[in-house]
Each structure stands twice: as C-alpha cells, then as structure tokens.
C-alpha cells in the first residue's frame, strides 16, 4: 500500500479524479492500525481499479490530519474528486470494510 505525506497530499488525494481515494490516517504506535494494515493492503490490490488506498502517518505528516479533524487512529476518510465523502474510525475486518465502502465504490 502506498504512502502519502503532507507534501504530496493534494496531488495524490485531492486531484485524483478517476476513482475514490481512501486515506488511512495511521501511526507507528497504533495497535489497531497494525491490525488494519493487511486488510487495506489486500483491498488495495483487489480493488485497485475501483479505489486508490493510501496511508498517511499522522506523526510525520500532521497537517492533513489537523485539516480533516482526525482525532484518533486509525481514521479512514474517502475522498471523491477532492472532497471527503465518508469517514470511518477504528479497525475492521475486510468484509465489514467492504460493506462500509459499498456506497462509495
């Protein structure tokens, strides 16, 4: 799964027009984030034509987290044409995540 930083957030997330972008706001110290990582990696491979999935480390790139009022990790925000359209907080199984994303895919 690819990473995004404050420096390339606009180009990688906000300017993506072909498909929705899911950004996982994560941190190295976050246990649930580590649980979620393989689920997101698998989903990124399987659904690459329908959704772009990126990780943003909130400690190394705090500006985007502050701008989107991310208060806990993991927080996932789905962007469509530069606008946030869905936000989910906490780790979840792949089946649950797919169900939660059904309305934006």
Residue closest to 3 by CA, chosen among 56, 40, 68, 45: 56
How much is the average pLDDT of 98-102?
Answer: 96
Q: DSSP string covering 10-74, please? A: IIIIIT--SS-EEEEEE-TT-HHHHHHHHHHHHHHHHTTTT-EEEEEETTT-HHHHHHTT--SSS
How does residue 48 score in pLDDT terms, banded at 50, 70 and 90?
Answer: very high
Q: Say what the pTM is.
A: 0.96
Residue 26 has pLDDT above 90, yes or no: yes
Calculate the dihedral angle through the C-alpha atoms of 71, 3, 31, 99, rounding to the nearest 10 degrees: 80
CATH of 2-101, one of 3.40.640.10, 3.40.30.10, 3.40.190.10, 3.30.460.80: 3.40.30.10
Tokens of 95: 């089946």
Residues with a known catalytic role: 30, 33
């Amino acid at each position: 799964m690819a990473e995004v930083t404050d420096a390339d957030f606009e180009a990688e997330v906000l300017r993506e027009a072909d498909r929705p972008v899911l950004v996982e706001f994560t941190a190295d110290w976050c246990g649930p984030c580590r649980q979620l990582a393989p689920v997101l990696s698998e989903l990124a491979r399987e659904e690459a034509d329908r959704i772009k999935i990126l990780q943003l480390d909130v400690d190394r790139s705090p500006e985007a987290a502050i701008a989107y009022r991310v208060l806990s990790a993991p927080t996932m925000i789905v962007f469509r044409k530069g606008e946030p359209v869905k936000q989910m907080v906490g780790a979840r199984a792949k089946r649950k995540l797919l169900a939660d994303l059904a309305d934006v895919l």
